[in-house]
Structure 1
């Protein structure tokens, strides 16, 4: 199971990189066109917005995994005994429960986009609305992974530092 999550993590990171590169290219094109040309393409603003949405959706689960989400460590870690561990477990469980509860609504939201198109790009909006579905799926998976690791004793639920943090 760990290999599957490492693969998911790698895929999310790769897709975030792709979205960021597309976003950067779109912004550079917009700046260049506004500076040196008589008109700038209007679709660059929409593409930039879509890239930002996907970066957030793909990054939420990774942020939960690495501990980059907002934490209330001051309260949590000041509790005695197993209190901090229990709070981290309950927090991960609640995140998973809310993620699962919102999956149906995210699916419906995505399905609505089939009948809509983006104004300047002309893309079907279900591809854009799918970002919300991706957000809840990845967030739920990472929360369940944290719960599993905590219950099996593989991890204490504290944020996992990345190589840059060490």
Structure 2
């Protein structure tokens, strides 16, 4: 099982980060296009601001699970270091269940919300609001996927290299 778990994470983490990086690159292009149009062509289309906003939200949501698995998110692991091993294991299970529950709940609530606003369109892009809002349930579902496959193991701690 451990080998399967590592293989699944070895595939899904880089895939999530690659898609998120692609969205970030597209976002950079949209922002640069908007800046060029605004300052050199006399006026930027309204859709550039809206698309940039939706792309950055999508980027963050798609990368969240992979970043969680890598231990690259912001957290304070002081309590884990101070507790005895048995209580640390219990804390790890609690953190895992809590994160999994929040991710699944976020996926469910944001999915229902995204479909509840399907009759409305965005002001700049003119598409159904469901389209950009689907990045939320997809991102929460990816977070739940990564958390589920990672399991209740201790989270990685990002360490800083000491400059000497």
TM-score if structure 1 supplies the norm length? 0.82
Task: Flag the 1:103–1:38 CA change in 2: closer, same or farther, 3 A.
Answer: closer
| CA distance in 1 between partners of 2:76 and 2:14 (Å) | 28
1:62-89 alpha-carbon deviations (Å, 9 max, x no partner)? 1210112222211221212233232122
Q: Aligned Cα RMSD in Å?
A: 2.3
**Which residue is equivalent to 1:137?**
141
Preserved contact between residue 13 and residue 66 of structure 2 (Cα < 8 Å): yes
**Which residue is equivalent to 1:57?**
61
How many residue pairs match? The answer is 157
**Which residue is equivalent to 1:153?**
none
Q: Which runs of 5+ in 1 are unaligned?
A: 151-155
Q: Which runs of 5+ in 2 are unaligned?
A: none
Task: Flag the 1:11–1:124 CA change in 2: closer, same or farther, 3 A.
Answer: farther
Larger relative contact order, structure 1 or 2 (CA cutoff 8 Å, min sep 6)? 2
| CA distance in 1 between partners of 2:17 and 2:117 (Å) | 26
TM-score if structure 2 supplies the norm length? 0.83
Task: Flag the 1:99–1:114 CA change in 2: closer, same or farther, 3 A.
Answer: same
| CA distance in 2 between partners of 1:110 and 1:91 (Å) | 28
